Amino acid sequence: MFEKVLVANRGEIAVRVIRALRELGVSSVAVHSEADAGALHVQLADEAVSIGPPPPRESYLAIETILEAARKTGAEAIHPGYGFLAENADFAQACHDAGITFIGPSPDAIRLMGNKVEARQTLQAAGIPLVPGTEGKAHDVAAITAEAEKMRYPLLVKAAAGGGGKGMRIVARPEELERAITAAMREAEAAFGDRSVYVERYIENPRHIEFQILADAHGHTIHLFERECSIQRRHQKIVEETPSTALTPELRERMGAAAVAVARAVGYVNAGTVEFLLDPEGTFYFLEMNTRIQVEHPITEMTTGVDLVAWQIRIAAGGALTLRQEDLAQRGHAIECRIYAEDPEKGFLPAPGPILALHEPAGPGVRNDSGIYAGDRVTGFYDPILAKLIVWGADREAARQRMILALRDYVILGIPTTIGFLADLL
């Protein structure tokens, strides 16, 4: 096991990783921008290093600065959390080259799964079910238009390097296609520095089902069942639950086996999430693989009793999985709500400012993964997620009722949040 690990992130996920390290008896190093000098993750870590000004490019995305912080503090490994550098193959490679363990998959696996087109081609060869789409990525509008016109509408134009709904356009009719491809390319170039796109058939009214996997370097790969993330806003998840009401035991088994096959096809090691679209007829298609810990990982932990972050760390340290597929079972139902510093009255605009008072819900079956405290200040430089509220219940309705009560008990004063909106939604 490692003696010291640097956490290359901020907010609630940095706090979550630091707590896991503490339970494993591993020292933690926090990094922070100047804006986060007083942040909760900085207070909880054993050591903290300032890595630059508030803009992410000058701090949380500054690869060499973060590696220097690891060298300076003697950290043997880096946990990237989610977002920022978590799915950056160049960062994983830079860690490897510096003799520092990257707590996550190999640079090659990140690179492959990060390029949606190459991932499609690899998985097609492995027999994984895919949404019908264009065979290759293209920068050439005419070429991709010609290929896409052979497909059934509606279509979805997607950035090859995309995520988070960026570089994505739904196309209902042929006359809209060329304009949509041009717009998606422009957005992809701005967001990812790669303007290549591809087109696939748009699955209408799908369920968004993802499977959690764990794989070690000793040939063991397992899945820890599904999460449903169909409640989204602007292609971003806001409420997640497990188990999914859409899956029969037989379908769950088939999708779980497909998720494990995806991981094995790319030689995947560590925690990952395989995302599928499930159409109204019960046919599922591979969507993408997230090569990091997911925001919504706690609902899997609540229903399986498995600490996914601790397993990420153990696997990266060379440990073998002691969990066996046949021994894993889900118990009850869990729901997660993401709490954002956003104003629902103003189109969910980010709402930075001071946290004047904070009361977090507690009680049986209630978990709060938070990165804030009373007196803290939410800056406008980063994603406005403040916390995640997770509840467990014996069944879905019990979990839903518990979540509503917990949301009503949740108080954040000083800034607008999505708490009231989420209570109404449920």
- Identify whether the C-beta of residue 167 lies closer than 8 Å to the C-beta of residue 142: no
Please list, in sequence order, all residues whose beta carbon lies within 8 angstroms of the beta carbon of residue 161, skipping any fewer than 6 positions away: 114, 115, 116, 167, 188, 192, 193, 194, 196
Are β-strands 77-79 and 101-102 bridged in parallel, bridged antiparallel, or unpaired?
A: parallel
CA distance 13 to 48: 16
- Identify whether the C-beta of residue 150 lies closer than 8 Å to the C-beta of residue 132: no
Q: Which of 89, 88, 122 is nearest to 107 (CA)?
A: 89
Q: Which of 191, 140, 198 is nearest to 171 (CA)?
A: 198
> Counting Cβ atoms within 10 Å, is residue 265 exposed (0-12), middle (13-18) or buried (19+)?
middle
Of 16, 195, 292, 367, the catalytic one is 292
- Identify whether the C-beta of residue 334 lies closer than 8 Å to the C-beta of residue 302: yes
And the tokens for 55? 């803009």
Please list, in sequence order, all residues whose beta carbon lies within 8 angstroms of the beta carbon of residue 381, skipping any fewer than 6 positions away: 33, 35, 54, 55, 56
CA distance 167 to 186: 8
And the tokens for 349? 């605009």
CA distance 29 to 47: 5
Instruction: Please count the other Cβ atoms lying within 10 Å of the Cβ belonging to residue 122.
Output: 16
CA distance 195 to 297: 31
Distances (CA, A) of 295 to 240, 280, 394: 10, 26, 23
- Is 292 noted as a catalytic residue in this protein? yes
Query: Which strand (E) or helix (H) includes residue 153?
Result: none
DSSP H stretches of helix in 126-211: 141-148, 174-192
Identify the three-state secondary structure at position 288: strand
Provide the β-strand partners of residue 88.
Answer: none
Q: Which residues are catalytic?
A: 292
